[in-house]
């Protein structure tokens, strides 16, 4: 499989995942709450604390990538916010 095919496969997987995500998914509330509670300045600092590449947070913020189990656990470990509360934050803005 060449690079182009891998990229197309990855994009297709992202589109499938986005189609399955609930329409109430609001990642900005989650990310903004993490930044506030951890006393960070911006997404770049959040990336450093969570030890993820900046495009990951950007894709989550722009709803191109779901919050997966790995990053959810990392958010929990670094912020000490319960996982249930982190999950609720993604839909809290609509309720």
Q: The domain that contains 56 carries what CATH number?
A: 1.10.260.40
Q: What is the pLDDT, as a whole number, of residue 13?
A: 76
Q: Terminal CA-to-CA distance of the chain, rounded, Å?
A: 45
- Assess if residue 12 is contained within a domain: no
Question: Greater confidence, 14 or 79?
Answer: 79
Rounded (10°) angle between helices 69-79 and 83-92 = 110
- Assess if residue 48 is contained within a domain: yes
Count of domains forming the chain: 1
- Assess if residue 1 is contained within a domain: no
- Assess if residue 65 is contained within a domain: yes
Residue 94 has pLDDT above 80, yes or no: no
In tens, the pLDDT along 53-92 reads 999 999 999 888 888 889 999 999 999 999 999 988 877 5
- Assess if residue 9 is contained within a domain: no
- For 65, the domain range is 24-92
Alpha helices in 1-95 (DSSP H): 3-20, 27-37, 43-50, 54-61, 69-79, 83-92
Give the pLDDT band (50/70/90) at residue 24: low
- Assess if residue 15 is contained within a domain: no
- Assess if residue 29 is contained within a domain: yes
Q: What is the pTM of this model?
A: 0.70
- Mean pLDDT, the chain, integer: 85
Report the range of poorest mean pLDDT among 9-13, 26-30, 76-80, 83-87: 9-13
- Assess if residue 3 is contained within a domain: no
């Amino acid at each position: 499989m060449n690079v182009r095919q891998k990229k197309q496969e990855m994009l297709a997987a992202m589109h499938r995942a986005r189609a399955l995500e609930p329409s109430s998914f609001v990642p900005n509330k989650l990310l903004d709450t993490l930044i506030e509670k951890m006393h960070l300045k911006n997404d770049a600092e959040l990336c450093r604390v969570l030890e993820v590449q900046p495009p990951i947070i950007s894709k989550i913020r722009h709803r191109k990538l779901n919050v997966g189990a790995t990053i959810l656990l990392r958010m929990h470990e670094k912020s000490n916010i319960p996982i249930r509360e982190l999950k609720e934050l993604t839909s809290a803005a609509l309720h």
